[in-house]
Amino acid sequence: MLANKKLLVLAGDGIGPEVMSQVVNVTEWMAKKRTVSFDVSQGLIGGACYDAHGCALTDETVADAMCVDAVMLGAVGGPQWDGVARENRPEAGLLRIRKELDLYANLRPAIAFDALLDASTLKTDIIKGLNIMILRELTGGVYFGEPRGTDVLPDGTRRGFDTQIYTDGEIERIARLGFEMAQKSRGRLTSVDKANVMESGVFWREIVNSLHKDYADVELSHMYADNCAMQMVRDPKQFDVIVTDNLFGDLLSDVAAMLTGSLGMLPSASLGEVDESGRRRALYEPVHGSAPDIAGQDMANPLATILSFAMCLRYSFDMMDDANLIEQAVQNVLNNGLRTGDIMSKGMDKVSTAVMGEAVISELEKMTG
C-alpha cells in the first residue's frame, strides 16, 4: 500500500536550495520504487523569506509546519542580510521554527565513514569506527533566555547581556531522551555542563543525576564542556551519547563534524513531543550552514541533507529499511571515490552537487535492482 507522507521543504538560503533539490529527487525516486510517496510542499525561511516578506519566517509557514509529518530544512543566512535587525535576521527564522514547534531535542550523529578517513584533519586511528551521538537541547538555555539585550548604565557604561536559564522540566525531557538513546546504543551517557562555574550547570547536573535511577543500566558520567571539547579531539571514541545544553551542543557538534572529515557530511534531526494524534513534530536539517561562498555554483556537498532525509525516514516514519538503504547508498558512492570539494582528497573524482545526488540515486537503483 502506498502511504502518503506530508513533507514541508524549507530550502532557505545559500546552498540550501541546491542540496535540497537532491533530496526532492530522492523522494521522487522513492515514490516510484518504494512503498511510500511524498506530498512535498515548499516554503520560505531565512533571508529568502526576509526578501519576500520582510521577516525570516511567516505565521503561515509556521502553521503549515504544524500540519505536516516532517519539515526538511536546508540552511539559512548570508552576508547580504548582515545589516538586518536581529529579530529579522535569517537565523531568527530558524530559531523561531525550532521554538514554535517545540523541537527540544536535536540529534547530531557523528559517524566517520571509512572512505573519508583521509578527509579528517585527525589521525586515522583516532577516528576510524567513530559513531557518536550529540544530543543537544534546542529550545532553551542562553539562545532563548530572558532578559537579553543591551542597555546603558547611569554612568554611561554600555553593556550586552543574555541569560542562561533551564527549568527542571526542560532538563528532564532532554536527559530522559539521552538515557533512552544510550540504552539503545552502547549504554554510555556523558552529560556535559559547566557545573564548576555556572549555577545552571550545577542544576543541570542535579537533575540528570536524579533521573539515573530510572536507567540503572546506563553508565552515566559528567564532563565539563571545555574538557569535553578537548577529549573530543583527543579520543572521540570514548563517547557514546553526549547530552548537553543548547550552546555547548552547538559548539561540540561543530567539533564532532570535523572529526568525520567535513561539516558537509553531518545530518541532524530536531524532535518535539508526540502530539494527540500520535505524531512527533520533527524537522531535519544538515548541520552545515548556507556556505554563501560556494552558493549557486553546484559545488556543495548534498550528502548531509540526504542523510538528514534518511533520519526523517527513521525517526518520523519508522522506515528503517529505507533509511538504511539511503545510508548505504551514500556509503557506496563514497567508496566509489566520488567527492565534492569539501571532502576531496588526492586521486578522487571531484564532482558537482548534482552529480553526487545522481550517484546516490543510481546506487539506490542498483541496490534495489
Chain residues 54-83 in contact with ligand IPM, contact rule CB under 6 A = 77
Give min distance, CB of 97 to ligand IPM, in A: 11
Which of Mg ion, ligand IPM, none does residue 94 bind (CB under 5 to 8 Å by kind)? ligand IPM
- 254 catalytic? Reply is yes
Closest CB to ligand IPM among residues 91, 118: 91
Length of the chain: 369
Closest CB to Mg ion among residues 193, 250: 250
Chain residues 217-256 in contact with Mg ion, contact rule CB under 5 A = 250
Annotated active-site residue in 13, 69, 194, 215: 194
Q: Are 112 and 123 in contact (CB under 8 A)?
A: no
Confirm or reject binding of residue 174 to ligand IPM (CB under 6 A). no
Binding test (CB under 6 A) with ligand IPM, winner from 250, 322, 327, 342: 250
Annotated active-site residue in 13, 69, 193, 250: 250
Which of Mg ion, ligand IPM, none does residue 240 bind (CB under 5 to 8 Å by kind)? none
Give min distance, CB of 253 to ligand IPM, in A: 6
Confirm or reject binding of residue 91 to ligand IPM (CB under 6 A). yes
Indicate the pairing of strand 149-152 with strand 219-224. Answer: unpaired
Which of Mg ion, ligand IPM, none does residue 28 bind (CB under 5 to 8 Å by kind)? none
- 318 catalytic? Reply is no
Annotated active-site residue in 5, 50, 69, 143: 143
Buried b (16+ CB within 10 A) or exposed e, 1-32: eeeebebbbbbbbbbbbbbbbbbbbbbebbbe
Choose among 333, 324, 306: nearest CA to 18. 306
- Identify the three-state secondary structure at position 329: helix
Give min distance, CB of 224 to ligand IPM, in A: 21
Closest CB to ligand IPM among residues 77, 201: 77
Which of ligand IPM, Mg ion, none does residue 91 bind (CB under 5 to 8 Å by kind)? ligand IPM
Confirm or reject binding of residue 193 to ligand IPM (CB under 6 A). no
Annotated active-site residue in 6, 226, 237, 298: 226
Closest CB to ligand IPM among residues 46, 218: 46
Confirm or reject binding of residue 100 to Mg ion (CB under 5 A). no
Confirm or reject binding of residue 100 to ligand IPM (CB under 6 A). no
- 33 catalytic? Reply is no
Closest CB to ligand IPM among residues 94, 228: 94
- Name every residue whose Cβ is closer than 8 Å to that of residue 193 and which is 6 or more positions away in sequence: 201, 204, 205, 222, 224, 225, 244, 245, 248
Concatenated DSSP letters for 100-160?
HTT--EEEEEEE--GGGGGGSSS-HHHHTT-EEEEEEE-SSGGGT-SS-EEEE-TTS-EEE
Closest CB to Mg ion among residues 245, 250: 250
Grid coordinates standing for 50?
526576509
Grid coordinates standing for 218?
546506563
Q: Are 108 and 268 in contact (CB under 8 A)?
A: yes
Phi-psi region of 318 (alpha: psi -120 to 50; beta: other; left: phi over 0): left
Cβ count within 10 A of residue 75: 31
CA distances from 66 to 24, 63, 144, 245, 279 (A): 20, 5, 21, 25, 10
Concatenated DSSP letters for 6-56?
EEEEEEESTTHHHHHHHHHHHHHHHHHHSSEEEEEEEE--THHHHHHHSSS
Task: Indicate the residue whose CB is closest to ligand IPM.
Answer: 91
Confirm or reject binding of residue 258 to ligand IPM (CB under 6 A). no
Q: Is the peptide bond between 17 and the residue preceding it cis, with omega within 30 degrees of 0?
A: no
What amino acid positions are annotated as catalytic residues?
143, 194, 226, 250, 254
Binding site for ligand IPM (CB under 6 A): 77, 91, 94, 250
Residues interacting with Mg ion, by CB under 5 A? 250
